[in-house]
Chains A and B, each alone.
Chain A
Amino acid sequence: ETGVTQSPTHLIKTRGQQVTLRCSSQSGHNTVSWYQQALGQGPQFIFQYYREEENGRGNFPPRFSGLQFPNYSSELNVNALELDDSALYLCASSSPSGGFSYEQYFGPGTRLTVT
């Protein structure tokens, strides 16, 4: 069974640029959630995708957008990067049909640095 994978591992961008982060969900999981974790903080929910539709969104501006593909992999896009966007971006997959616990399995993360 393949776990959650994310790419790239690290990324350095300049303020104002755009970035795309990628996530492959664990085999059999149809739900992907994205989280932003600033240094020294807990992860903050960005949004969740279920069967290619956005299924909930946290307090993030519209320049944070996403997609989920038919194979349940997902992208997080951030436009007009700001310095405060520097963080670890975590993807988590889950399968609501797999049991009531709805446990989310996290990928290794993408470390984004905006200069």
Chain B
Amino acid sequence: ELKVEQNPLFLSMQEGKNYTIYCNYSTTSDRLYWYRQDPGKSLESLFVLLSNGAVKQEGRLMASLDTKARLSTLHITAAVHDLSATYFCAVVLTNSGYALNFGKGTSLLVTP
């Protein structure tokens, strides 16, 4: 059974600070996704990481993937209030039709 663990689950940070969210998964997978969810809303795709060493950046967010360590990170640079949301990582279950297996999410609050 594929397990996906995120930490921290809750994160309160000041505007302008940097922080990293971690996503560990338990079995081999070469495809990892990061999503953002605002309260009461659906999931917005942020990044798709397909190979070991992949790094993608969009604005103040940067995601990376280390398949050997079964670890992905989502780094936040100089946080702003608009980044407040819940962030999920998800790993593909390759024996279930490419279904996504999600972590519990990291609830991020950026304060002034």
Q: Which residues of A contact B (CB under 8 A)?
A: 31, 33, 35, 41-45, 48, 50, 55-58, 90, 92, 94, 96, 100-109
Contacts and interface: CB of A to CB of B under 8 A. Distances in A.
A92 B99 CA distance: 10
Contacts of B92: 102
B97 A42 contact: no
B42 A58 contact: no
A35 B43 CA distance: 11
Contacts of B31: 101-102
Give the one of B48, B50, B88, B104 with max A CB within 10 A: B48
Which 3 A-B pairs give the minimum distances between C-beta atoms? A56-B97, A42-B102, A56-B96
Given A45-B99, A92-B43, A101-B48, 6 more contacts: A31-B97, A35-B102, A43-B43, A43-B100, A55-B97, A103-B45
A94 B98 contact: yes
B93 interface: yes
B7 interface: no
Contact of A100 (B42, B50, B93, B101): B50
A68 to B, nearest CB: 12
B102 A43 contact: yes
Given A42-B88, A45-B93, A56-B93, A105 B45 contact: yes
A109 B95 CA distance: 25
A105 B33 CA distance: 12
Contacts of A44: 102
A103 B48 contact: yes
B38 to A, nearest CB: 12
B104 A58 contact: no
B42 A48 contact: no
Contacts of A108: 41-42
Contacts of B45: 103-106
A26 B104 CA distance: 26
Contact of A48 (B35, B43, B96, B101): B96
A104 B100 contact: yes
Interface in B28-53: 31, 33, 35, 41-45, 48, 50
